[in-house]
Amino acid sequence: MSVIVIYRSSGCNICAQATDNVRLILAELGIDYDEVVLERIVGEGSAEIEELRQINLYGVPVIKIGDKVLVQSDTLSAWKVREFVQECLKGMVMVPHALGER
């Protein structure tokens, strides 16, 4: 199962822009955002921040597909996000995740 995970902070304008970039790219690819994206809100002491620390990342936004990540300033470039998503999704089968995971 492949899910795109976006680690973000609430109230973060950069995180919102990164999320918008992912929405745009998925729409262009004909993939339903709500079916394949899991948004993880990162807060101090949260399980989500620990997940990021385990992969040696300490800031948001982060877009993760499988074991590949796109971080911070790169997430603001629509063409970098497009290239990243397309490369990661080649040959993958996107399967909807359970709604309770959001």
| pTM of full prediction above 0.85 | no
How many residues does this entry show for the chain?
Answer: 102
> b/e per residue, 47-62, with b = 16+ CB within 10 A?
ebbebbeeeebeebbb
CA atoms 43, 49, 52, 53: torsion sign: positive
In tens, the pLDDT along 70-84 reads 998 899 888 999 999
Q: What is the pLDDT of residue 91?
A: 66
> Residue 92 has which token pair?
């993958």
Whole-angstrom distance, CA of residue 47 vs CA of residue 40: 10
- Contact yes or no for 81/75 (Cβ under 8 A): yes
Please give the average per-residue pLDDT across 61-76, as a whole number: 91
Give the type of residue at 101: E
Whole-angstrom distance, CA of residue 65 vs CA of residue 63: 7
